Amino acid sequence: MQPDAFTVSRGPEPPTGSPQAENGSLPTEQVRSVIELVRLLVRWETALVIALAATIAFGVGVSSQFLTGSNIFNIGLANGEVAIMTLPMTLIIIAGEIDLSIASTLGLSSSLLGYLWLHGWPMPAIIVFVLFIGVVLGAVNGLLVTRLGLPSLAVTIGTMTLYAGMAEIVLGSTIVSNFPARYTNIGVNPFPHTVLSYSAVAFLVLAVIFGAVMHATPFGRSLFAIGWNKEAAQYAGIRVKRVKTILYMVSGLIGALAGVLYTFRLSTAEFDNGSGLVLSVIAVVLMGGVSIFGGKGTLFGVFLAVIVFCSLQNALLLTNFPEDATGIVTGGLLLGSVLLPNGGDLIRRVRAHKGRGRFPSAP
């Protein structure tokens, strides 16, 4: 429910003879204070802060090791790539699209890194080339969606399978694990002078950049306009096709970066690296309050959702919860994240289409 849908009830009558008693209304400043309080309480981010506190309490309750430096390092290490991939996914979903191929981009990047290393390329050149290929893969998605007008869901399901197949062709059954120690150490050692993994630090830096772009630039504001109403955004002069193509290129770049970090963390390149991560990425983004219909969400909400999701996964593992069953948690969070923050939108859409004999589709 949008905050503006709330109405403020009249409080106790002010003393007789006061200016407020004459017109029977609350002082303007008091009304504004009540409205701001209601808006704060109904913000999705407030619920996430409460969920984070509950998760930490649960983690501390099940294990005294939960808040230790070594466990915080493990949390960031195990989930850093997922956290990084939530950032471009947030922007894409706010713009009313989706990218299901980002985890396959990770896998193809890992395969390509291993293949080029086997063929004697220097590692700096490999990293630059792999990141460039990630941009190309993202551009393919963007052009198919914007220039051919194909739905992003269908396009990225196709490229998800295509890129995964390409990863298997590039590396086959070969497993590459003889990378230089100065690169694989990022999966063993924390970032200097911290208890955070390298991937966690990369996430924090990128989150600041993405948050600034999303909330403090015309480009970021255009994403909300596009997601809310694409046609109106076009009439307002926003170059919708260009914006969406850029988003997909950024998604490809970040997916490739995640592939490089994932490979070095495991000290292993193989074609199925990262398979299955895309559902976790989408679950976290929607859990952060981003509307699946587009046009609504905050980077801060996604940041909180990343911490809640990663902490909850870790706390469950500390209780000897079967690792193979963590998909149940991901699926439950994904379903709940669609229904809870978007419940008002769903109800309004059902009412708007009542009598037409069909369930409303997403714009």
pLDDT digits (tens, 9 = 90+) for 176-231: 999 999 999 988 899 999 999 999 999 999 999 999 999 999 999 999 999 999 99
Inform me whether the pLDDT recorded for 290 exceeds 50. Answer: yes
Q: How many CB atoms lie within 10 A of CB 136?
A: 12
Confidence band of 317 (pLDDT split at 50, 70, 90)? confident
Q: How far apart are the first and last CA of the chain?
A: 19
**Which among 137, 87, 144 has a CA at the least distance from the CA of 285?**
87
Asked if the structure places residue 274 within a domain, the reply is yes
Confidence band of 357 (pLDDT split at 50, 70, 90)? low
**Which among 249, 330, 236, 338 has a CA at the least distance from the CA of 297?**
338
Confidence band of 19 (pLDDT split at 50, 70, 90)? very low
- Cα angle 268-273-276, degrees, rounded to a multiple of 5: 155
Q: Which two tokens stand for residue 226?
A: 């596009």
Tell me, what's the pLDDT at 139?
97
Asked if the structure places residue 202 within a domain, the reply is yes
Tell me, what's the pLDDT at 5?
40
Asked if the structure places residue 32 within a domain, the reply is no
Would the pTM count as exceeding 0.85?
Answer: no
Helix axes 240-266 and 218-228, enclosed angle (nearest 10):
110
Asked if the structure places residue 263 within a domain, the reply is yes
Cα separation, 248 vs 252, in Å, equals: 6
Asked if the structure places residue 29 within a domain, the reply is no
Q: How many CB atoms lie within 10 A of CB 217?
A: 11
Q: pLDDT of 127-180, one tens digit each?
A: 999 999 999 999 999 999 999 999 999 999 999 999 999 999 999 899 999 999
Inform me whether the pLDDT recorded for 69 exceeds 80. Answer: yes
- Tally of domains in the chain: 1
Asked if the structure places residue 31 within a domain, the reply is no
Asked if the structure places residue 218 within a domain, the reply is yes
Domain boundaries, position 87? 46-338
* More confident: 128 or 47: 128
Asked if the structure places residue 315 within a domain, the reply is yes
**CATH at residue 109:** 1.10.3470
